[in-house]
A and B are shown apart, each in its own frame.
Chain A
Amino acid sequence: MKRLADALRDPATADGLDAEGWTGLIAAARAEQLIGSLAFRLEGRSLPPRVERIMEEARTSAAQWRRSALWEAEMARRALRDLDVPVVLMKGTAYAAAGLDAGVGRSIGDLDIMVPREALPEVEPALLEAGWEWVKPDPYDDAYYRQWMHELPPLIHRERDRMIDVHHTILPLTARVTPDAAAMLAESVALPDGLRILSPEDMVLHGVAHLFADGDLAGGLRNLWDQDRLLRQFGADKSFWVRLGARADLHGLGTHLARALRLARRIYGTPVDRVIAGRGRLSDLWFARRLTARDGWGRETRKLTVFAFYVRSHWLRMPPLMLARHLWTKWRKRPA
């Protein structure tokens, strides 16, 4: 639904919606997990009383997400602080911890952190010691997970029921693009409490990598909203764009970045560097259609577009050769 993106970009576009329009906007915003962001964008405007009440609740929810996200980060900090390992917060928790605009109203789920790959042997037992446990009692196929995925198998805290994803790079090692995790860690920035966040450029590029390389664009509208907020906040400084372009080349994410900038500009009116964004392509339209494939009941529309992206996500995740090797190994291990 284009109306949702429009309302986020320019809240005045929601003025004068009728009851039906509001109901649809609210359902779509919930489906895209953008209701909190929307609620803050609409704060202070004159809304129908029931809409105001729903938005108020959304802001309260967002405050609660924020609180528990920051608390999980703090508990991870306490668990890992004796290790002398850099712990980088990722995604929503990072935006909240750093007080960035992208964190305002954002829904935040699991805690995502990145640590150096060589620190995993220390990090893992420290987390287990502090009360996190494997989501499943028997982490089978562990070797595969650890060798090829970009994170440990998920852990959940036994008292707080919250998951932590411990990454050592930002994409699966099987993905075709392999951003330079060591460079990201090296450029990360310390927060006052000792936890770290990615540099502004890497923060944007991490989001971009996830938008295109790691998924079927489900949740893409929210991801792109993150990018819009980050780019508006960081992009006021001209030198940011220079660093961003160079950094994208370093990580091999230049094409992805260009596409993300064009989509952000198209969907949210984000001011972007025209040179880095490059010339528009016809396929941009296709991506934009996928990102706004949501109706006023919160349902995905444009099934064919969505399905095409689903297929795309699967072949992106694992190169054919890898897939073949994986299956070969499984076949050989089969009981006779």
Chain B
Amino acid sequence: MAGPCYEADAPGARLHRSLDALDLIYHRPSGMTHMVSEPVPQILAALAAGPADAAKIARRLAATHDFDANGAEDAIAARLAELEAVGLVRRA
């Protein structure tokens, strides 16, 4: 099943800072600060290559990362829904 297709703002719209356990993202259009964990920074990076659905993002991530492919699309889709709720990604 093909989930929704998402896009993100250009990388320059976000400031990124790594802390010990989590990463911080300052989102310039909203002025909001988000604390995020893996795989959120990686998903946002993967979206820099253009709009994609969960399956496509999984393929992009697989090119540079090792992860458990079992259930990967569902996990990514769940992260995308979270990111959509806070406005870091939107439906393309």
Contacts and interface: CB of A to CB of B under 8 A. Distances in A.
A68 interface: yes
A67 B29 contact: yes
B85 A71 contact: no
Interface string B20-52: 000000000111100000000000000000000
B31 A68 contact: yes
B91 A74 contact: no
Interface residues of B, number: 9
Contacts of A131: 85
B90 interface: yes
Contacts of B30: 67-68, 71
B86 A78 contact: no
Contacts of B32: 160
Given A64-B31, A67-B30, A74-B29, A159 B91 contact: no
Lowest 7 A-B CB distances belong to which pairs? A71-B30, A67-B31, A78-B90, A68-B31, A75-B87, A71-B29, A131-B85
Contacts of A70: 29
A71 B32 CA distance: 10
B85 A159 contact: yes
Contacts of B87: 71, 74-75, 78
Contacts, number: 22
Contact-size category for A: 10 to 19
Given A71-B29, A71-B87, A74-B29, 16 more contacts: A64-B31, A67-B30, A67-B31, A68-B30, A70-B29, A71-B30, A71-B31, A74-B87, A75-B87, A78-B87, A78-B90, A78-B91, A130-B85, A131-B85, A159-B85, A160-B32
A129 to B, nearest CB: 10
Nearest to B91: A78
A131 B86 CA distance: 10
17 contacts: A64-B31, A67-B29, A67-B30, A67-B31, A68-B30, A68-B31, A70-B29, A71-B29, A71-B30, A71-B87, A74-B29, A74-B87, A78-B87, A78-B90, A130-B85, A159-B85, A160-B32
Interface in A157-195: 159-160
A333 B90 CA distance: 48
B86 A159 contact: yes
Nearest to A77: B90
Contacts of B90: 78
Contacts of B85: 130-131, 159
Interface string A126-143: 000011000000000000
A159 B32 CA distance: 11
A336 to B, nearest CB: 48
Contacts of B91: 78
Interface string B44-87: 00000000000000000000000000000000000000000111
A318 to B, nearest CB: 39
A75 B86 CA distance: 9
A74 B30 CA distance: 9
Nearest to A81: B91
A68 B32 CA distance: 9
Nearest to A64: B31
A194 to B, nearest CB: 13
Contacts of A68: 30-31
Nearest to A66: B31
Nearest to A131: B85
Interface string A111-136: 00000000000000000001100000
Nearest to B85: A131
